[in-house]
Every structure is written in structure tokens, then in C-alpha cells.
Amino acid sequence: MINSDGPGISLRLEAVTKIYSVSGEELPALRGISLAIKGGESVAIVGSSGSGKSTLLHLMGLLDRPTSGELYFGDRRVDALTPTERAVLRNRSIGFVFQNFQLIPRTSALENVEMPLLYRGMPARERQDRARELLASVGMGDRERHTSSQLSGGQQQRVAIARAMAGSPGLMLADEPTGNLDSRSAATILDLLLSLRDRFKTTLVLVTHDMEIAQHLSRTVRVRDGRLEGSP
């Protein structure tokens, strides 16, 4: 049985902005967002496409850095870390689930799930045992040798979820996890995400444009034009 590392990470954003400059022109994606998410909380970020909701998720996931403002994991300020420090933190504390699955091509399901543990320097034996266990818990135990091209969308997303959980992260970030799936697979994936959240007590932040999905989470935050709706 895989044990939780304890309650999830709490997040705090203060006046976060993100401005992309494309060929000299400045395109603001986030125009000052302040938000606090408690450890173990499940938050849906909703908004229309281009509202900045994905950018917000990527900033929380330390894939990108804010142009200004501050970001905290618990009490630790994390918006100005070096690429290596961010990589270590992503590896230890964050699990990503993407809309287009993002499995590594020509690589088996098992190897994909092992990967976060590999970058931690876990010995191969231990890594494989753990990855197998996780694949089994998402119902993919009989497909560990399959590569992404041999799996359906729903199956790929399950492998991706197992990979996100492999490092027992305190924070799960899901970017439209059901966006590329038919409604039946979508429901299964959502159930899987929610049950894993319950089991591991991680903080879950999920970006979606689907209000139906958002209703399954404890709180909904609405983003419009780079700002949180309801804030000035």
C-alpha cells in the first residue's frame, strides 16, 4: 500500500502577473492574481479559452515564472528559484496531468511511471515495484509494456495519472485532464483523480472550462481576462 506524505501543500499567490512579450509586443496573460489554497483543498479554475487559467496553473506548477508578484508553497517563497531548484521541487512536490497526456513516445507505460522516481535517484528495483503498484491501482497493471501509441486516450491518461502520483506529490495539477476524452472515459478519469486525491490527501488544482466537472471540486475560482472574477 502506498502511503500519503501527509496533508497536501498549501499555496499562496500574491499579486502575480505574467506578461509575454512576442516580437516586442507585450501581451499580459495574468494581470495581478492573489489567491490562497489550503493544504488538501480541491480547487477548480474555470474560464474561457485565453482567460489565463492555464498560465495560472503553469505558474503554480513552476513550469514558468511570474513577471511580478510572489508565489508561496506553505511558507516557502518559490517564484524566484533557479531552474535546478524548480526541477527538484517539481519532482518532489508536484504531479502534472495534461490535456494531451504527454507520455514519452516509444517508451513503455512502466518506464513512464518510473520516470519521476528515476530523477530522484531511486534504485531500479524499488522504482519498478512502485510503478507496477501504481499502474495496478489505476487499472493498467496488465499493460505495463505498452507504449503510448498502443493505448487509447483514456488509457494514456490513466498512465499519466499514475506517473503524476508516483512521487507522492503534495500538489496535483491537472490541465483539462478530460478535454481530449469521450464522455465515458472522462467520467472514469475524473473519478480516478478524485479518489486518488481522497486517498493521498493531496491538494488538487484542476483547470477546466466545464462547469459540470468543476462542481465535483470543493471550490471554484473563475478567471476572466487575466483576473479573478469577483476581485477588483
Partner 1 sequence: MTLVLLGIRSLLKNPYRSILTSLGILIGVLSVVVLTGIASGAKALVLQSIANLGPNLLVVIPGSVTDSGAQVGGGTDTTLTAEDAQAIRSQCPDIWNASGALRTAAQVQSPHANWSTVILGAEPSYLPVRDWRLARGGFFGDQEERGMARVAVLGRIVASRLFGLSDPIGKFVQINHAPFRVIGILSSKGQSPMGMNQDDMVVVPLTTLQSQIMGVTYVGVILAAATSPDRIGAARREIDGILRLRHHIPPDGRPDFEIQAMSDIAKTAGRLSLILTVLLALIASISLIVGGVGILNIMLVSVRERTREIGIRMAIGARPRDILVQFLSEAAALSFFGAMAGGAGGVLFLAGIHLAVGWPTPIPWEGLLLTVAGATLLGILFGLYPAWRASRLDPMEALRYE
Those residues with Cβ within 8 angstroms of residue 36's Cβ, 6 or more apart along the chain or in another chain: 10, 11, 12, 13
3-state DSSP call for residue 35?
Answer: strand
- Cα-based torsion angle of the residue sequence 183, 189, 194, 197 in order, rounded to the nearest 10 degrees: -160
Q: How far is the CB of 118 from partner 1 (least distance, A)?
A: 6
Residue 187, CA distances (Å) to 160, 183, 212 in order:
16, 6, 11
Helical (H) or strand (E) element with 72? strand 68-73
Residue closer to partner 1, measured from CB, 44 or 115:
115
Size of the site for partner 1 (CB under 8 A): 27
Interaction between residue 109 and partner 1 (CB under 8 A): no
Phi, psi (degrees; rounded to nearest 5) at 24: 85, -15
Structure-block grid coordinates of residue 84: 535546478
Contact residue for partner 1 among 167, 170, 177, 226 (CB under 8 A): 167
Interaction between residue 98 and partner 1 (CB under 8 A): yes
Interaction between residue 2 and partner 1 (CB under 8 A): no
Interaction between residue 73 and partner 1 (CB under 8 A): no
Residue closer to partner 1, measured from CB, 91 or 188:
91
Measured distance CA(42)–CA(162) in Å, rounded: 19
- Which parts of 113-132 interact with partner 1 (CB under 8 A)? 115-116, 118-121, 124
Residue closer to partner 1, measured from CB, 24 or 121:
121
Interaction between residue 61 and partner 1 (CB under 8 A): yes
The stretch among 34-42, 66-74, 91-99, 179-187 that binds partner 1 (CB under 8 A) is 91-99
